[in-house]
Amino acid sequence: MAALRIFLTMCRRPSVAVALAFIVIVVVASLLAPWIAPYDPNEQFFEGLTLEGAPLPPNATYWLGTDLLGRDLFSRIVYGARTSLIIGIVANGIAVVIGTLVGITAGFVRGWLGMALMRLTDLMMAFPALLLAIALAAILSPSLWIVALVIAMVNWVQVARVIYSETISIAAREFVAVERTIGASSLRILFSHLLPHLVPTILVWATLGISTTVLLEATLSFLGIGVQPPLPSWGNIIFESQSYFTSASWLVLFPGVAIVALSLSFNLVGDALRDELDPTLKGRR
């Protein structure tokens, strides 16, 4: 019931309601892509290009126009939603799991292992995330899963730092000390006290992180080391058509809008979740 109440309060903000609606649209589009997309995303239509071989602007047959090979842009964007969401969820899921494990270990178990893990996160913070991802992707020769893995490898650091400081502050509270004095084991404290208190933070970062992940995937694909064509992704649609964007601006505009809208939506929802779930923020905005 609490979850439903939070959900309803969040929806009262118009921006969050729109963001949630857009996320639902993207999820539905990626699940039902074969039924929603009017054409096969990889089919090159003969009539999809002008006589000179240029792509067609948006029209009645091809709603968002066609790309350089005469493929339907709308269908490619619908299938591209799949790529973005899969990477967003898988990569960010891995990042949140690694980050949570590292953060809890460093904050609760501490000892030399905790020290080493925090020094490792400090070290990872010294690298620009995009450049490290570029280096890894270039070395590992990209595929859908490698891209997800690479993004997870650079994105867990943020989560680890947040969970670490949260764990430390929760573990220092009195109820944890009380549990210890009545003889609760560390494992019991971890699972029945620490983790439930961490759930809100984890949830917020699981949402905000998807936004970062979507941007990183789009950027890697735009640079040509993300998702590889012909598998459509919003980033690689722009990568393929970037040199024509002055004459065929729709090829950049539509996938671009989709990327910004999805990333913005997850940011808005994550931000609203944080406001709802973090009691210390109440009334401070």
263 binds another protein (CB under 8 A): yes
Interface map 60-99 toward another protein (x if CB under 8 A): ----------------------------------------
- In this complex, which beta carbon is closest to another protein, that of residue 189 or of residue 220? 220
What is the closest distance, in whole angstroms, from the C-beta atom of residue 236 to another protein in the complex?
12
Q: Distance between CA atoms of 100 and 198, rounded to whole angstroms?
A: 9
225 binds another protein (CB under 8 A): yes
Q: Which of 20, 219, 228, 229 binds another protein (CB under 8 A)?
A: 219
Q: Which of 5, 119, 173, 188 binds another protein (CB under 8 A)?
A: 119
Q: Distance between CA atoms of 263 and 255, rounded to whole angstroms?
A: 12
123 binds another protein (CB under 8 A): yes
| Phi and psi angles of residue 54, each rounded to the nearest 5 degrees, phi first | -90, 150
Q: At what angle do helices 73-104 and 234-241 cross, to 10 degrees?
A: 130
Q: What's the full length of the chain, in residues?
A: 285
54 binds another protein (CB under 8 A): no
**Best CA proximity match to 72, nearest among 257, 228, 232, 226:** 232
What is the closest distance, in whole angstroms, from the C-beta atom of residue 137 to another protein in the complex?
9
Q: Distance between CA atoms of 74 and 36, rounded to whole angstroms?
A: 10
Q: At what angle do helices 129-140 and 144-171 cross, to 10 degrees?
A: 140
What is the closest distance, in whole angstroms, from the C-beta atom of residue 231 to another protein in the complex?
19
Residue 208's contacts (CB-CB under 8 Å, 6 or more residues apart) are 266, 267, 270, 271, 274
Q: What token pair was written down for 34? A: 């074969």
Residues 139-198 that bind another protein (CB under 8 A): 139-140
136 binds another protein (CB under 8 A): yes
What is the closest distance, in whole angstroms, from the C-beta atom of residue 269 to another protein in the complex?
12
**51-55, long-range: CB < 8 A, 24+ apart:** 54/247, 54/248, 55/241, 55/244, 55/248, 55/251
- In this complex, which beta carbon is closest to another protein, that of residue 73 or of residue 225? 225
Q: What token pair was written down for 146? A: 């490698």
Q: At what angle do helices 250-277 and 195-222 cross, to 10 degrees?
A: 170
Number of residues that bind another protein (CB under 8 A): 41
259 binds another protein (CB under 8 A): yes
- In this complex, which beta carbon is closest to another protein, that of residue 182 or of residue 282? 282
Residue 26's contacts (CB-CB under 8 Å, 6 or more residues apart) are 81, 84, 85, 262
127 binds another protein (CB under 8 A): yes
Residues 227-246 that bind another protein (CB under 8 A): 235, 238, 242, 245-246
Residues that bind another protein (CB under 8 A): 15, 119, 122-123, 125-132, 134-136, 138-140, 211, 215, 218-219, 222-225, 235, 238, 242, 245-246, 249, 252, 256, 259-260, 263-264, 267-268, 271
